[in-house]
Structure 1
Amino acid sequence: MIDVKGIYAATPAMNVSIISLGAILSSVMGTTGASIVLITPLLQINGSRRNKAHTVLCFIFAVSNIGGCLSPLGDPPLFVGFLNGVNFFWPFKNLFLPMSIVLVPLLTGYWALDKKLYKKERIQKPKADRELSSADKSVAVSGIAYMALFPVVALITIGSEIITIKQLKISSTISLSVISMLRNFLLLVIAALVFRFGSRKNRKFNRFSSEPLKEVGMIFLGVFITAMPVVEYISSCKAVGVFSILNDSGPLRPALYFWITGILSSILDNAPTYLLMFHAAGGKAALIDIESNKILLKAISCGSVFMGALTYIGNSPNLLVKAVSEQRGVKMPSFIAYSKWAIVCLTPLFVLLTAILFVCCK
């Protein structure tokens, strides 16, 4: 129920500022939360711009994916890692540099492109419209009190792993974690209370609709159902065929984990892919307890979070942002066209990251 609204010139510097803020907030609010909160003001500010799709694409790359790598609250794969024993603060300590290597060139390239388009649009726009677009500059933020819930969510999440409660045994093969059930219940209660007592005025102003959520929910339900047998097959075959290279202990092993994790994340969803590759690399005992193998955990984390941006189905906020943008009249690329743009824009940055982090400086 946090709402950001205002009137401001849609300059390249303003767009980069909003996207950068969203990338920072993604690790605090989650990629979905930051995307939903900031895509509306970004589209409002750029309402008079002719070229908007490239701004939404950069927003998806940076806010809906890359920016969420600094905490388990940011992106589902890192939360899966947290549930499997990775320290809550490990992502911040180890993934800040990889995020910077990818995010800084991405935003710089976007700024250069947007500056060129912005100048072209101002030349073509009538003088009266140019004066009007830069006359009123104001920004208002409401619902700041809800920011207090983020530390509460973080404490509940951390506490669920610190506090130990005996598991509830249902049968000889099935047992339930009482603390995990309590954590999920409390998070659902918080979500329900916010929706019940949140500002309806803000939801109306933001043209809130449950349709994008329903659309994404149905798509990802299908993705999870169809991905399960694929993940099981890959898991059973990880020691043979093309996946046998993962058992190689050579110098390129971290790079292989990064790229294989990333490619699978972009087509199978990144959370189950992270879990698959986490166990393929040895699981908790190998990745957390053995210092020399932590580079593999870094590679798996970067691959699953960053390359979720390569397709619309790589991470659920991608489709949410697309749906919200199309509701506001932005013509977004098709599934194939989006992937082409993502590959062109992001692959060189991933190659750079591979060279710096997983080949030259292990």
Structure 2
Amino acid sequence: MALFIGCCLLPGVASAAEIDGASLSLAWGVPFAGVLLSIAVMPLVLPNVWHHHFGKITAGWALAFLIPFAAYFGMHAAWVNLVHALLAEYVPFVILLTALYVVAGGIYIRGSLQGTPGLNTAILAIGAVLASFMGTTGASMLLIRPLIRANAQRSRVVHVIVFFIFIVSNAGGSLTPLGDPPLFLGFLKGVPFAWTLQHIWPDTLFLVGILLLAFFLLDHWMLRQEQSYGQPAPVDTSARERLGFDGKFNFVLLAAVVGLVLMSGMWQSLVVFDIAGTEVGLPGLVRDLGLVLVTVVSLSMTARRVHEANQFGWDPMFEVAKLFAGIFLTIIPVIAMLKAGTEGPFGTIVRAVTNPDGSPNPAMYFWATGVLSSFLDNAPTYLVFFNTAGGDVAHLTTEMATTLAAISAGAVFMGANTYIGNAPNMMVKAIAEDRGVRMPSFFGYMLWSGCILIPLFVVMTFIFFR
């Protein structure tokens, strides 16, 4: 899921210039693949080059798409799609992400937090609950800093961050439309607000429960390993600090962010501004201006000591903004191919979700939606398979409830398979690295997800989506 956090919540944003995805070849996806491979490989083989020039490299791949696109489809089509990607997709995405990053960075959780298996598991469990009500990004930005601080004295913390991404940044956002953009799109299509809670809670409870148990056991074993090589520095119990919050007013601003996003999806307005072929609705404009105001207020009113205590800095935000700028542009033809359905290059995948007798195959819907959501934007992926399943809300939420649950679960859960599967994944990684945690590479992270998540998804297939 990563790309349409802002724009996909908008009913009033129209596509600027639809590309016929059925006529495109897979070669148009090379720049997008190039961005992904650069993120995956260059930090390993050329770390210094990547660290200092990742923005230029990403821009190079964006130009590798844009220039041939302009030559083939014409300057006007290139300009229209560039403006659309920026105004309708990238700018709302960055504004929302920045607001959540700043507001959460203005909340300092005081207390003598010691990274024991019990405390770490409790933080992950709390984050899983919060994610469905303040979004996976909001919950991730709120809790990742205190979690890293609690484990600062431990030598092995990578597994803590990886499981945080699995649980808080992804699986926890599956119970309400506020948790993840695909579910919000379903809500806008007419899926009742409480439908996902009623139909996906067993799946979520199973996945999150197993992950929390696995994490507790792994963290306990890791801690014992650390102690066998040297006891972590003890906490001075005579100077223990009680749990509390500094910058409490930012909780109000966090609620304002959630309210603005919810408003932009539910407010219907006929007022639309046409900017170079991109229609920007009034609800989206009000939301973005409101988010900018929230960001400014938070920066202005948060005491410097709170930011210093949180080690607040802009580098993680800059990194994510630069990388996703390239992803937003190079993914344009890939999304068009996906939207082409059975007529496009991904037609084989789309056709695979239907049984020979014409009935839907929930297991295939789960995996097709999930696999594509791991690398593409899970919001349009959700819509593609929502419509492939018929698009009739009344039918999908009743007789075909298992199919809709499979689509919803695949879009949300499998965003954890890669760093780019969901926006908070990359944000959490960047913040952790900024704090000195040596996070796994792109493929290294996929090794974690492949060994832990994929077997669980296989089991879930047989339990919930047969």
> What is the DSSP-based 3-state SS (H/G/I as helix, E as strand, rest coil) of the residue aligned with 1:10?
coil
Q: Which moved more, 1:95-104 or 1:174-183?
A: 174-183
Change (3 A) 1:140 1:88: same
The TM-score with structure 1 as length reference comes to 0.88
2 CA distance for matches of 1:207 and 1:88? Answer: 37
Q: Which of these residues, 196, 210, 215, is aligned with residue 319 of structure 2?
A: 215
1:234 maps to 338
The number of aligned residues is 355
1 CA distance for matches of 2:443 and 2:148? Answer: 23
1:206 maps to 310
2 CA distance for matches of 1:187 and 1:74? Answer: 18
1 CA distance for matches of 2:396 and 2:450? Answer: 35
2:282 maps to 178
Contact kept? 2:353, 2:368, Cα under 8 Å: no
Contact kept? 1:70, 1:92, Cα under 8 Å: yes
1:125 maps to 230
> What is the DSSP-based 3-state SS (H/G/I as helix, E as strand, rest coil) of the residue aligned with 1:4?
strand
Question: 1:133-212 maps to which residues of 2 (within 5 A)?
Answer: 137-138=240-241, 139-160=243-264, 163-168=267-272, 177-212=281-316
Coordinate RMSD, CA, aligned: 2.7
Change (3 A) 1:217 1:91: farther
Kindly indicate whether residue 361 of structure 2 is the aligned counterpart of residue 253 of structure 1. yes
Could you report, residue by residue, the CA deviation over 1:48-102 in whole angstroms, capped at 9, with x for unpaired residues?
A: 1111001110011001111111222222222333333333333323322211110
Kindly indicate whether residue 140 of structure 2 is the aligned counterpart of residue 35 of structure 1. yes
1:325 maps to 432
2 CA distance for matches of 1:6 and 1:182? Answer: 38
Change (3 A) 1:310 1:287: farther
Change (3 A) 1:194 1:294: farther
Amino acid aligned to 1:318:
N
Q: Which of these residues, 87, 91, 98, is aligned with residue 196 of structure 2?
A: 91
Contact kept? 1:28, 1:150, Cα under 8 Å: no
Could you report, residue by residue, the CA deviation over 1:154-173 in whole angstroms, capped at 9, with x for unpaired residues?
A: 555555555544354869x9
Kindly indicate whether residue 211 of structure 2 is the aligned counterpart of residue 106 of structure 1. yes
Could you report, residue by residue, the CA deviation over 1:202-225 in whole angstroms, capped at 9, with x for unpaired residues?
A: 222111122211211222222222
2:109 maps to 4
Gaps of 5+ in 1: none
The TM-score with structure 2 as length reference comes to 0.69
Q: Which moved more, 1:157-166 or 1:138-147?
A: 157-166
2 CA distance for matches of 1:265 and 1:233? Answer: 14
Gaps of 5+ in 2: 1-105
Contact kept? 2:153, 2:233, Cα under 8 Å: no
Change (3 A) 1:234 1:156: closer
> What is the DSSP-based 3-state SS (H/G/I as helix, E as strand, rest coil) of the residue aligned with 1:332?
coil
> What is the DSSP-based 3-state SS (H/G/I as helix, E as strand, rest coil) of the residue aligned with 2:352?
helix
> What is the DSSP-based 3-state SS (H/G/I as helix, E as strand, rest coil) of the residue aligned with 2:420?
coil
Percent identity between matched residues is 37
Task: Give, in angstroms, the shift of residue 201 of structure 1.
Answer: 2.2
2 CA distance for matches of 1:27 and 1:125? Answer: 39
Contact kept? 1:287, 1:297, Cα under 8 Å: no
Amino acid aligned to 2:362:
P
2:157 maps to 52
2 CA distance for matches of 1:45 and 1:7? Answer: 8
Contact kept? 1:265, 1:273, Cα under 8 Å: yes
Task: Give, in angstroms, the shift of residue 195 of structure 1.
Answer: 3.1
